[in-house]
Amino acid sequence: MNTAPSQRAGAAGSADAVAPPVRAADWYRRKRTREAMLVACFLLPSLMIFFLYRILPLGWNVILSFEYWSPLKAARFAGLDNYAEMFLEDDVFWQALTNTLIFILASPIAILLALAVALAVNSDLKGAAIYRTIIFLSYPLMSVAVGIVWRWLYDERGGFINFVLRGTGLIKEPIPFLQSFGWALPSVILADIWQVVGFYMIILLTGLQSIPQHLYEAARIDGAPASARFLRITLPMLRPSLFICAVIGILNSFTAFDLVYVMTGGGPAHATELLVTHIYNMGFGETRFDYAAALTVVQFTLLVILTFLANRAVGGNAGSVESA
């Protein structure tokens, strides 16, 4: 941008900047504006993207949710009609809401599993890095592919799970997991846990490794048993990590769209319908953008409330906004 030589001493950003030699005040002001320009130019692209695809949509959702609107018709104020329809008439919404809550409430299971694994991997175990890699491997993979993998595992005839259950004599007849009303949701949740458990583990491992060792040594000298060390030191110190895991679990009810779409498509009879799949179906299946926006508002509110509750549950300001 500016390659003019000299006169660049003392950036405002560096705390221990050397005091610039006394110069004309207008030069100083020019330098200030130049730096402000630079900051603005550097921030602008990112801010634009987040404005266009995060902040603006959030507001637009709220506006749309109070309107009758479709791509070809002019908007008309609808008051609370969309919400009234959702809460009073839309059975699928209630089903999807319940399923979403079940989905979120299942994440503590995954977090506990991940905690156990993280504790085992965190110690001086040989080959811990290999275990960690294998357990984490499923997380960065394409969810669509993972969904197809699990669909196949649940298959009635060629699937591994039915094969094992029948082979060990636990069941006589194959269970059509993804086609049965009762089994479909737990099956999808299991697949989801399989995919994200490695992520929880990594977060918890980072948390474990940030606990100062001297706390444990002091406790050991005091003769505290392992269980007490875990309850008094490990768990309290892990609270920020556990909070992050909880938030990921809540956000997961959004990101599980890929898995559900591929594994069951929301079926059978909406047994695995999540709010996010319902939003997609309403918006892009039936082109009811206004109603889908109202659904989104409800789900986002749910997300904020649950995040707030999770924050309270781990004792206040864990993971609060860090002062920049």
Partner 1 sequence: MRRRSHILRHLVMALVCALMLIPFYWVAKTAVTNENIYAYPPRILPLKPHLYNFVDVWYLIPFARYFANSVIVSLIAVAGNIVFNAAAGYALTKNFAGKRIVVLLFLSCMLIPFQATIIPAYLVSARLGVLNSYLGLALPLLSTIVCIFVFKAAFEAIPASLQQAARIDGLGELRILFRIMLPLAKPAIATNIILSFIWSWNAFLWPLIITRDVTMQTLPLGLARFLAYVEDTTGALYAFVCMVLLPGIIVFLMAQKEFIRGLTSGATKG
For the CB of residue 177, give the shortest distance to partner 1 in the complex, in Å.
Answer: 14
With CB under 8 A as the contact rule, the residue among 23, 28, 30, 60 that binds partner 1 is 60
What does the alpha-carbon distance between residue 63 and residue 136 come to, in Å, rounded to a whole number? 40
Q: Which stretch binds partner 1 (CB under 8 A): 22-30, 55-63, 74-82, 230-238?
A: 55-63
Question: Among residue numbers 114 through 173, which ones bind partner 1 (CB under 8 A)?
Answer: 117, 120-121, 123, 125-127, 131, 133-138, 140-146, 148-150, 152-153, 155, 157-160, 163, 166-167
- Token representation of residue 260: 């559900």
Which DSSP state fits 73?
Answer: E
Cα dihedral value 71, 73, 76, 82, nearest 10: -50
Q: How many residues does the chain have?
A: 324
Q: Give the separation between CA 160 and CA 148, rounded to whole angstroms.
A: 13
249, with CB counted inside 10 A (0-12, 13-18, 19+), is buried
Closest approach, Cβ 118 to partner 1, in A, equals 11
Name the minimum Å distance from CB 233 to partner 1: 19
Member of 28, 39, 105, 225 binding partner 1 (CB under 8 A) = 39
Shortest distance, CB of residue 145 to partner 1, whole angstroms? 5
- Taking the complex as a whole, how short is the minimal distance between the CB of residue 70 and partner 1, in angstroms? 11
In the bound complex, what is the minimum distance in angstroms from residue 146's beta carbon to partner 1? 8
**Minimum CB–partner distance for residue 27 and partner 1 (Å):** 15
Where do the DSSP E strands lie in the chain?
67-70, 73-77
280 touching partner 1, by CB under 8 A: yes
Compute the C-alpha angle 264/267/269, nearest 5°. Answer: 170
Could you say which residues in the range 285-314 bind partner 1, by CB under 8 A? 289, 292-293, 296, 299-300, 303-304, 307
CB 279 within 8 A of CB 292: yes
Q: Which of 53, 77, 172, 227 binds partner 1 (CB under 8 A)?
A: 53
Residue span binding partner 1 (CB under 8 A) among the ranges 9-17, 74-82, 92-100, 103-111: 9-17
Instruction: Check: CB of residue 180 under 8 Å from CB of residue 124.
Output: no
Min CB(270)–partner 1 separation in Å: 19
CA distance 37 to 27: 15
Tokens of 311: 């924050």
Residues in region 185-204 near partner 1 by CB under 8 A: 194, 198-199, 202-203
CA distances from 38 to 13, 35, 45, 112 (A): 13, 5, 12, 47
CA distance 78 to 74: 12
Q: Which of residues 74-113 bind partner 1 (CB under 8 A)?
A: none
CB hemisphere CA count around 169 (13 angstroms): 0
Residue 50 engages partner 1 in binding (rule: CB under 8 A): yes
**Options 246, 279, 310, 314; binder of partner 1; rule CB under 8 A:** 279
Is residue 285 within 8 A of residue 140, CB to CB? The reply is no
Size of the site for partner 1 (CB under 8 A): 109
Q: Pick from 13, 21, 169, 223: which binds partner 1 (CB under 8 A)?
A: 13
Part of the chain binding partner 1 (CB under 8 A), chosen from 86-94, 100-108, 178-186, 275-283? 275-283
